[in-house]
Structure 1
Amino acid sequence: MILSRLPAPRAIRRARLAIASVVLASAALLAPAGALAQGMSSDPTLAQTLFEEGRRLMEAKAYAEACPKLAESQRLRPGTGTLLNLALCNEALGRTATAWGQFKEALFASKKEGNAAREAFAQEHINALEPRLSKIVLKAEGTPGLLVRVDGHDIPAAALGTPIPIDPGAHEVEATASGYSVWSTTVQVGESADLKTIAVPKLQPAPPAQTAAAPSGPAAGVAGSAGSAGSAGSAGGGGGEGLRTAGFVIGGAGAAVLGVGAVFGILAAGQASDAEKDPALCPGKQCTPLGRKEIDAAETKALVSTIGIGVGVAAIGAGAILVLTSGRPRAEGASAAGAKPGAPGRVHARVVPLLGPEGGGVSVLGAF
């Protein structure tokens, strides 16, 4: 066996630097709650606690309570052992397709880790589940821009016409396309080896929007005056509306990228640290080829984290500048032109970036 000297763990240093950057960015962007949530959700102690509680509930055959705890433990700190237990839990609940997919994922992870016992265990359950899998086949007519969803999840166009494993029970199928009416149906899937075919018809064009008739008489004069004032407001504030919208879009995208960077930083730190401490991978700080691969993979995640955080912070800053420099909202301009302070329709709002363990976003705070 060839051993290589474990260098200064660059992946750990990069990951820690990335996470520190997230904390600093959170403080600068008024998101202390996000920083607090991040510290909680990345806590390995919480993941272990949820895992042990999930195992205890499984032993008591309380599978409906156990599965969510195991799923959250896996989200907080992914591991092949936790994934196998989650698959067993879903299998016990009769969620055959979900369990089959999780056993498949655990099988690939076990092969990568070189764990023959877990690999054999996962394969055994896969072989037992496959003959029992129920499936649906979605067939759709040629509606331009058609999007098909099952239980709110998008189905790629390439998957149409292909048998898709699905858990037994009732499922909602919906088809939409721009300019067309929505079509939906409910399908009941049997418990074992059931096959349901759902034919999505060609969607019907959506009816044209109803336009309100213009009022006549004195009321029409009032409406006309209001319309003129609205036009004047648009002429003066159209550019501001565009800047404000662009600021929301850019800031929201930046927050999402920042969240992805934070997640990769946490994963990198955990993977590199685990490899360094594992006597089978890096005994006495001397890494085996497999240990070296783990360190290299962690360094890649750390690099992605650093880039994501930098891009995210820049985008959030640019979005905030656009919002702050876009001028007063249209409703506020109308109030200044004649409406009384506090009258209905006046809007006061500000944008607050939010950072958290599962990503980021933009929140609008104010009175409407």
Structure 2
Amino acid sequence: MIPSKSHAPRALRRARLALASVVLASAALLAPAGAAAQGAGGDPTLAQTLFEEGRRLMEAKSYAEACPKLAESQRLRPGTGTLLNLALCNEALGRTATAWGQFKEALFASKKEGNAAREAFAQEHISALEPRLSKIQLNAESTPGLLIRVGGSDIPAAALGTPIPIDPGTHQVEATAQGYAVWSTTVQVGDSADLKTIAIPKLQPAPAPEKAAAPQGPAVGGADSGGSSGGEGLRTAGFVIGGAGVAVLGVGAVFGALASGQASDAEKDPALCPNKQCTPLGREEIDAAETKALLSTIGFGVGIAALGAGAILVLTSGPSRTEGARAASGRVQARVVPLIAPDGGGVGVLGKF
């Protein structure tokens, strides 16, 4: 059999490949007999089934479907015949570097087994593929702990600066090292005898991670801590909120007084409500008084709630620095209880000091 020339048309190479595959398969050169001979621990039935299905798909030129089945058969029950078929399948798909490596592996296995026919078959395809192999050369600046990956495969440091066979197509090149930022690029490798050289620069140190911001609010101090700065902050906040509650209560009282006066004046005015029957203008006055009364009720509720919240903060902040000696004789005990009234509500604090 005459090996293919690198300059032969692709259609002619594929026709020759198909013919060689059929002829050699009929001669039992590509049968998976080597699998059983190697005694691997996989499932022989499944391996044989996948091999036969892969061969059928190859004969139908469905190489993309055939290759995974042959690869799994080889994984389950490694054999030189299966490996040769897998190499033929990858060659048909244009994966020249993968096929070349598999033919090389099959060549060494055939020599070890003393199978001259398979050895010659593998060598013929190796000789035909080698002039067409595309390659990639990686040059890298020195970076401690440098790791390089091409298309998901790790590249050892010893391979740097050496052209490496690679399948045609698009490949992602990535370089990284602990403490350094990741560098990456994409390279497009041609179908035949292409050589791509990638210069990997010295990696840049990774930016330092941002530290979490410290909490801005005051920390809660213990009752017997003698009054920490966190406790003082809570005490101050309690007085501020309580003061605001008193102010809101004052506003509620003002609106209550206004509402009561406005309603009383309207009812007593004979022009607005003669004989207790209010005119439309009188009704407007009564409605305005009711609105003020509602605002008064809301103000009282909010004010009471604010007073309760302020009291809680003061009571749970622990003793102040000036009250440390008195706090040592007994802890502050306090609990919050709800206050519910027909026209509003709030909270109350019951405690022992």
User: In the TM superposition, what is the alpha-carbon distance from 1:181 to its structure 2 partner?
Assistant: 0.3
SS of the counterpart of 1:54?
helix
Q: Which amino acid aligns with 1:151?
A: G
Which residue does the alignment assign to 1:135? 135
Q: TM-score, normalised by structure 2?
A: 0.51
SS of the counterpart of 1:170?
strand
Q: Distance in 2 between matches of 1:201 and 1:167?
A: 24
Unaligned runs of 5+ in 2: 1-38, 222-353
Q: Distance in 2 between matches of 1:210 and 1:196?
A: 39
SS of the counterpart of 2:171?
strand
Residue pairs, 1:329-368, within 5 angstroms: none
Q: Distance in 1 between matches of 2:217 and 2:177?
A: 42
User: In the TM superposition, what is the alpha-carbon distance from 1:151 to its structure 2 partner?
Assistant: 1.3
Which residue does the alignment assign to 1:74? 74
Q: Distance in 2 between matches of 1:201 and 1:216?
A: 43
SS of the counterpart of 1:188?
strand
Q: TM-score, normalised by structure 1?
A: 0.48
Q: Distance in 2 between matches of 1:157 and 1:69?
A: 33
Q: Distance in 2 between matches of 1:82 and 1:170?
A: 28
Which residue does the alignment assign to 2:186? 186
Q: Which amino acid aligns with 2:195?
A: L
SS of the counterpart of 1:199?
strand
User: In the TM superposition, what is the alpha-carbon distance from 1:215 to its structure 2 partner?
Assistant: 1.7
Q: Which amino acid aligns with 2:167?
A: D
CA-to-aligned-CA distance 1:192-244 (integer Å, 9 cap, x gap): 000000000000001111012112124x549xxxxxxxxxxxxxxxxxxxxxx
SS of the counterpart of 2:216?
coil
Which residue does the alignment assign to 1:148? 148
SS of the counterpart of 2:82?
helix
Q: Distance in 2 between matches of 1:55 and 1:221?
A: 75
SS of the counterpart of 1:193?
coil
Q: Distance in 1 between matches of 2:111 and 2:217?
A: 80
Does structure 1 residue 52 correspond to structure 2 residue 56? Answer: no
CA-to-aligned-CA distance 1:11-36 (integer Å, 9 cap, x gap): xxxx9xxx9xxxxxxxxxxxxxxxxx
Q: Which has the larger radius of gyration?
A: 2
Which residue does the alignment assign to 1:91? 91
Specify whether residues 167 and 217 from structure 1 end up closer, same or farther in structure 2 by C-alpha distance, changes over 3 A only: same
Residue pairs, 1:268-279, within 5 angstroms: none
Specify whether residues 221 and 195 from structure 1 end up closer, same or farther in structure 2 by C-alpha distance, changes over 3 A only: farther
Q: Which amino acid aligns with 2:98?
A: T
SS of the counterpart of 1:61?
coil
Give structure 1 regions of 4+ aligned residues with deviation exceeding 2 angstroms: none
CA-to-aligned-CA distance 1:97-138 (integer Å, 9 cap, x gap): 000000000000001111111000000000000000000000
SS of the counterpart of 1:71?
helix
Which residue does the alignment assign to 1:215? 215
Specify whether residues 221 and 177 from structure 1 end up closer, same or farther in structure 2 by C-alpha distance, changes over 3 A only: farther
Higher helix share: 1
SS of the counterpart of 2:185?
strand
Which residue does the alignment assign to 1:198? 198
Q: Distance in 2 between matches of 1:124 and 1:42?
A: 30
Q: Distance in 2 between matches of 1:217 and 1:118?
A: 79
Q: Distance in 2 between matches of 1:49 and 1:154?
A: 33
Q: Distance in 2 between matches of 1:54 and 1:153?
A: 26
Superposition CA RMSD, Å: 1.7
Which residue does the alignment assign to 1:109? 109
Which residue does the alignment assign to 1:174? 174
User: Which structure has more RCO (C-alpha within 8 Å, separation ≥ 6)?
Assistant: 1
What is the percentage of aligned positions where both structures have the same residue?
A: 86
Q: Which amino acid aligns with 2:161?
A: G
Which residue does the alignment assign to 1:285? none
Which residue does the alignment assign to 1:63? 63
SS of the counterpart of 2:209?
coil
Specify whether residues 213 and 118 from structure 1 end up closer, same or farther in structure 2 by C-alpha distance, changes over 3 A only: same
Specify whether residues 221 and 167 from structure 1 end up closer, same or farther in structure 2 by C-alpha distance, changes over 3 A only: farther
SS of the counterpart of 1:185?
strand
Q: What count of residue pairs does the alignment treat as equivalent?
A: 183
